Structure 1
């Protein structure tokens, strides 16, 4: 296939919020699309807790220099739920580190002199754009910007949490030219709000996977404390095979607990391989994981652990991708599976339309 590149390669710099794996995989997908279209990703800056390393799969697949910097991250309670009070108190003493991070971002932008900054929902990215006013445009990418859309199904409960999530989203997008809102399906753009609806960013690896259906349930946990709920259900239902990916830093690459429960350290390629063959996916309502399951025609059970994920859970049920639950009670999933209707074909068509759509948005900004 003949590729037509711009006369001069456009240089792009990424800012990525490193909490979980969703924004990381979105950045990988975007880098692949840009590379195939003649753009150059000159650097990737990943924000997050200093003590939490960037997953190896990201270094392996991003194909660009990667720098880590200290950035605000969510703090969880013992039940695996986000504790906003603890999050605020935890970060107050660290403001000096965040000031250093802003300087680091500024120095990196000056060094690489990109034509465009793409911010994958990193708060310090928005603050940098507002405080330093760089001479380069910024566009923001995230499912969270869809919450500003008038047709999005916002949960009725949690007014304060809704305010905090939307306030954080505004901080990430300070001075941005556009907010590109990732969506499970097509909704109208709302330019007056700077909200432009786009298809999800899925890693290109997913297109070559062979879909099968084995008997195991695949689980993705973004916080190790949630594992206790999985183990409790497993001990009551040992006949159901489970493969569980979790983010425990000191965990073994693979640990077989017994004949039907296996734990896996977070690994992007291995996760997709297991997802392509599973019976269903159980996850904490992260947008990216649900998208990958929809693409592969896998039913999902989503268990939100904070308001943002509660929005994702409501949207998951709206498009028929699966069922929501308050706890990791996999019996709810087992009861749901017989009535699930596949949604993969419509979703794959929406994704196929996405690449040219994405490039058109970026071209309009650069």
Structure 2
């Protein structure tokens, strides 16, 4: 079967999940035509042959934080023109199904050509899955708005999520989709703390705060290798990062779904620093906190770090019963939908 698969270029978690699912589809004998852009395009191109570049969405930042309203308005204005630029690329193929990981161009192509479309992404959880009601109304409004315009009416949704209850009959919810390398990994409780952040503003803060705490830290996200006091900066390598993840004491990161999913599966307590007004990250952070797998904090301080480390043994004990992998269940349902 010919399947057109669209992957958003915003955030590498979507690309990593899509690689896992595409690999499964190819093993099942399907012909998968992949469309993406940005870092996700470069990532997928290294693993698959049939990968094509899209004119995709743009992100706009304010102090290293996504400016949601500007990003939404500019992309809505440019969307019709970009869709027309992408359309000839899509028309070269006659897929029986379209799968989209929060990618709107392939979604719209499916709708216009009356092709069944399956949404496989974690962001749709905001509108399609019952989740806690957080107090940040502004963040919730913007998140709902984004979820309402990207891939709003797929025929089916297969949603990896920490939350379990779907709102509608055409939605099925699964535990996170994990890389085989993570599932096969044999973690141990090490002494070093893994830190992952991509905000350049955070480097000075880390250099100021981390030396005040009696722990060794491995920091990814600044594209450099250096040793400063109790901090080891490392350039990103998928293989080395996984090695450090499975052997670390605990994890400090933003509220991104993919890294939190992998850390929890490997029984690592997590200190979550969700990006301000990023509703999905706030929900993920709330899950970690309420499950007592770690803590959530709007900012990093020595006091927050010490409180986290004091409770880390308890968090690890709570994680003992956590399974958190939905690959087989999602693959099984996807295979049924594609029959």
Q: 1:69 aligns with which of 30, 51, 54?
A: 54
Q: Deviations over 1:240-266 (max 9, x none)?
A: 2211121x5xx34xx113253222333
How big is the alpha-carbon RMSD for the aligned residues of Structure 1 and Structure 2?
A: 2.8
Q: 1:355 aligns with which of 323, 328, 335?
A: 328
- Relative distance call for 1:274 and 1:324 in structure 2 (3 A) is same
Query: Does the aligned pair in 2 maintain the 1:285–1:310 contact within 8 Å?
Result: yes
Query: Does the aligned pair in 1 maintain the 2:98–2:110 contact within 8 Å?
Result: no
- Relative distance call for 1:343 and 1:147 in structure 2 (3 A) is farther
- How big is the shift at 1:273? 1.6
Report what 1:11 is aligned to.
2
Report what 2:297 is aligned to.
325
- How big is the shift at 1:129? 4.1
Distance 1:175 1:290 in 2: 28
TM-score, length of structure 2 as denominator length: 0.86
Distance 1:139 1:317 in 2: 31
Count of aligned pairs:
334
Query: Does the aligned pair in 2 maintain the 1:317–1:323 contact within 8 Å?
Result: yes
Report what 1:4 is aligned to.
none
Which stretch of the first structure deviates more once superposed, 196-205 or 31-40? Answer: 31-40
Report what 2:237 is aligned to.
267
Query: Does the aligned pair in 2 maintain the 1:137–1:365 contact within 8 Å?
Result: no
Q: Does the residue aligned with 1:166 lie in a helix, a strand or coil?
A: helix
Distance 1:331 1:111 in 2: 57
Unaligned runs of 5+ in 1: 1-9
- Relative distance call for 1:345 and 1:107 in structure 2 (3 A) is farther
Distance 2:299 2:245 in 1: 21
Q: 1:46 aligns with which of 36, 55, 70?
A: 36
Query: Does the aligned pair in 1 maintain the 2:130–2:166 contact within 8 Å?
Result: no
- How big is the shift at 1:224? 2.8
TM-score, length of structure 1 as denominator length: 0.80
Distance 1:347 1:109 in 2: 41
Q: Which runs of 4+ in 1 moved over 6 A?
A: none
Query: Does the aligned pair in 1 maintain the 2:195–2:217 contact within 8 Å?
Result: yes
Q: 1:34 aligns with which of 8, 11, 25?
A: 25
Report what 1:313 is aligned to.
285
Q: Does the residue aligned with 1:111 lie in a helix, a strand or coil?
A: coil
Distance 2:307 2:105 in 1: 39
- How big is the shift at 1:21? 1.7
- How big is the shift at 1:149? 4.9
- How big is the shift at 1:111? 2.1
Q: Deviations over 1:84-135 (max 9, x none)?
A: 344357x36x944x445423543333223322221111244444444xx124
Distance 1:302 1:241 in 2: 18
Query: Does the aligned pair in 2 maintain the 1:300–1:321 contact within 8 Å?
Result: yes
Q: Deviations over 1:174-217 (max 9, x none)?
A: 441112221226x244334x432122111112122231222111
Report what 1:295 is aligned to.
265
Report what 1:191 is aligned to.
168
Distance 2:91 2:9 in 1: 22
Residues 273-292 of structure 1 aligned to structure 2 (within 5 Å): 273-292=243-262
Distance 1:346 1:267 in 2: 30
- How big is the shift at 1:57? 4.9
Query: Does the aligned pair in 2 maintain the 1:220–1:245 contact within 8 Å?
Result: yes
